[in-house]
Amino acid sequence: MTMASDLPHPRVPGEAARLPITMLNPDFPFSYDHYLAHPAGLGRVPDLKLGTEVAVVGAGLSGVIAAYELLRLGLKPIVYEAARIGGRLKTAEFSAAPGVVADLGGMRFPESGKAFYHYVDTVGLETREFPNPLSAVTPSTLIELEGTAHYAETADDLPPFFTEVAEAWRRALREEVDFDAVQEALRSRDVATIKRIWNRIVAELDEQTFYGFIAGSAAFREKSFAHREAFGQVGFGTGGWDTDFSNSILEILRVVFTDADDKHRRILGGAQRLPDGLWSHAPDDLVHWPKGTSVAGLNGGVPRGAVASIKRGEGGGIRITEKWGATREFEAAIVTCQSWLLSARIDTEETLFAPEMWTAIERSHYMQSSKTFVMVDRPFWNDIDPATGRHVLSMTLTDRLPRATYLLDDGPDKPAVILLSYTWNDDALKFLSLSADERTDLMLHSLKKIYPTVDIASHIVGEPITVSWEADPNFMGAFKNNLPGHYRYQERLFGHFVQHELPAAQRGVFLAGDDISFTAGWAEGAVTTALNAVWGTVRHLGGESAPGNPGPGDVWDELAPVVLD
Ligand code: ARG
């Protein structure tokens, strides 16, 4: 997909309204999309350093992008991966029908994530609109709460109660956090205004929960408890967010300010095509390496194994030891794995990070998440029930066990996929100990209550596919999400790539990935933190940014996230 990501700044008043909302992060409003699109590139390292090996720990999207950009800069990324390339962009295939896929992690990517789509375009992947609740490509949506079902082809079909709930949320955002002014500033990339408003919000609301924000707002106080409850069930964008009620409201505001939960697209063939594609993609503007060189090529086609320890090496660099004993020392290492692994699974030398960095790493809060998919013989949900004139099955939001059911197809007369259930936190823990078949039985039981006349089970072919990210020892959760009072930890993690003021003993390891970003749970943060780590690495090796294209660390003094006392 090609998108207008490099529009010029607006010149006339009112023009801002036409500029797109991007995932310009209000904490650090650096335009990564412009940085990536700049013809001068991301910088250079001194000639003597060309070909230098840099370790990249973890081959999820963040690691693969870091490796890809190091390659473009003429460095030699050595990639370590404990399991499989792709990380939480993991796509499973139904064994009975290779090509019919289930995205176990990231599956829907907001158009506002411009840096992410830069790489989608690099690899040349095809995308389609994701069938979220009430979105244009979703034939129908059914909201079932406390046993009452509401069928809707567009939002207008829902009873006025739901409009009141949506209006209360919009009003709360306008009145409590200056929503329109922030979005206007994000569109026009007016960083001074973004920071002025956002820094005040951070100071005021870091210790507020999502639920506290709702319950304390005039907009919701004037409504009933049922409005707050329904808001939790159907929420905004993709649906119910009540499992986030105990998280910091800042996490939610970043999402809604940047339209991250709107206008989602999926990658045809599965999200994993992106990391897989970048792994073997040969950039056409290579420095140092011969034409045709890819990250895969520099790594002999396979990543190195799981990392067992990260220490300060005898040569003063970063020494990485693998599970099966191989050891190498690097001048720098980009570490993209789930950050808890640095203490829980990898023997990491304590002095590589300051004590307050360790606190930030250990306090990171992760969301659990589970998904259960089945393949069906055809997209039968497009059939119309002659008795009601409605689709026999709809995208479903419910307060029953499945919480959200998505219908995914690539056209008629072909097998299709039902994501029977996608849940977070408590709703995900309910299934942690259950097998794929047990989970499927439970979901079908709930759906039968909602659609008593539809025999979903008779359409199922092949074996169900399920995931609980918290059960995977390399992830221990699905994505980071800050609790109230966590801003300081987040600010430390994100800013760690700017290392010139750190003592020498703490330099050379650059953290990146979803859980280092300000918008965990969105691939955009994996991309942008990888770019920060690459900038830090270039600087560490004595290099610099390209003339006219300052990198994230070059503008740190101007844009850095606010530091609370
Ligand atoms: N972006 C992911 C999705 O669309 C995860 C978002 C959920 N984030 C959260 N804090 N609950 O499903």
The residue nearest atom 8 of ligand 1, judged by CA position, is: 521
- Contact partners, residue 160, CB within 8 Å, separation at least 6: none
Tell me, yes or no, whether 564 lies in a domain. Answer: no
Residues 174 and 262 in one domain: yes
Residues 472 and 439 in one domain: yes
Tell me, yes or no, whether 111 lies in a domain. Answer: no
Tell me, yes or no, whether 314 lies in a domain. Answer: yes
The answer on pLDDT for 562 being more than 50 is yes
Q: Which atom of ligand 1 approaches the CA of 260 most closely?
A: 1
- Which one of 477, 504, 532 terminates a domain? 477
Confidence category of residue 361, pLDDT binned at 50, 70, 90 = very high
147-200 pLDDT, tens digit per residue, is 999 999 999 999 999 999 999 999 999 999 999 999 999 999 999 999 999 999
Tell me, yes or no, whether 469 lies in a domain. Answer: yes
Average pLDDT over residues 210-224: 98
Residues 356 and 420 in one domain: no
- Which one of 477, 503, 528 terminates a domain? 477
If we measure between CA atoms, which residue out of 46, 115, 43, 30 comes closest to residue 72? 43
Range of the domain at 501: 42-87+270-364+480-559
Average pLDDT over residues 466-486: 97
The answer on pLDDT for 112 being more than 80 is yes
**What is the value of ipTM here, to two decimals?**
0.96
Q: Is the CB of 539 under 6 A from ligand 1?
A: no
Confidence category of residue 4, pLDDT binned at 50, 70, 90 = very low
Q: Check residue 236 and give its pLDDT.
A: 76
Q: Is the CB of 238 under 6 A from ligand 1?
A: yes
Tell me, yes or no, whether 451 lies in a domain. Answer: yes
The answer on pLDDT for 89 being more than 60 is yes
The preferred substitution site among 254, 369, 424 for testing ligand 1, maximizing ligand atoms within 8 Å of CB, is: 424
Q: How far is the CA of 394 from the centre of ligand 1 (A)?
A: 21
Q: Is the CB of 248 under 6 A from ligand 1?
A: no
510-520 pLDDT, tens digit per residue, is 999 999 999 99
Beta strand 509-511 pairing with 333-335: parallel
User: The tokens of 497 are what?
Assistant: 């790539």
Nearest-angstrom CA–CA distance, 114 and 21:
10
pTM exceeds cut of 0.90: yes
274-314 pLDDT, tens digit per residue, is 999 999 999 999 999 999 999 999 999 999 999 999 999 99
Nearest-angstrom CA–CA distance, 407 and 396:
9
Q: Check residue 15 and give its pLDDT.
A: 53
The residue nearest atom 7 of ligand 1, judged by CA position, is: 521
The answer on pLDDT for 363 being more than 50 is yes
Can you give the CATH number for the domain in which 56 is found? 3.50.50.60
Residues 166 and 202 in one domain: yes
Q: Is the CB of 521 under 6 A from ligand 1?
A: yes
Tell me, yes or no, whether 277 lies in a domain. Answer: yes
Residues 243 and 291 in one domain: no
Average pLDDT over residues 397-409: 97
Tell me, yes or no, whether 109 lies in a domain. Answer: no
Percentage of the chain modeled with pLDDT above 90: 94
Least-confidence region, from 16-20, 36-40, 129-133, 250-254 = 16-20
116-138 pLDDT, tens digit per residue, is 999 999 999 999 999 999 999 99
Residues 341 and 261 in one domain: no
Q: Is the CB of 266 under 6 A from ligand 1?
A: no
Q: Check residue 69 and give its pLDDT.
A: 98
Residues 165 and 262 in one domain: yes
Number of domains in the chain: 3
Residues 262 and 337 in one domain: no
The answer to whether 512 touches 532, Cβ cutoff 8 Å, is yes
Beta strand 53-57 pairing with 76-80: parallel
Residues 200 and 175 in one domain: yes
Tell me, yes or no, whether 356 lies in a domain. Answer: yes
Residues 512 and 468 in one domain: no
The residue nearest atom 11 of ligand 1, judged by CA position, is: 244
- Which one of 439, 458, 477 terminates a domain? 477
Can you give the CATH number for the domain in which 212 is found? 1.10.405.40
229-276 pLDDT, tens digit per residue, is 999 998 877 878 999 999 999 999 999 999 999 999 999 999 999 999
Residues 277 and 257 in one domain: no
C-alpha distances in angstroms, 164 versus 151, 168, 227?
Answer: 17, 6, 8
Q: Check residue 533 and give its pLDDT.
A: 99
If we measure between CA atoms, which residue out of 5, 23, 46 comes closest to residue 540? 46
Can you give the CATH number for the domain in which 416 is found? 3.90.660.10
Residues 151 and 164 in one domain: no
Nearest-angstrom CA–CA distance, 220 and 239:
18
The answer to whether 108 touches 322, Cβ cutoff 8 Å, is no
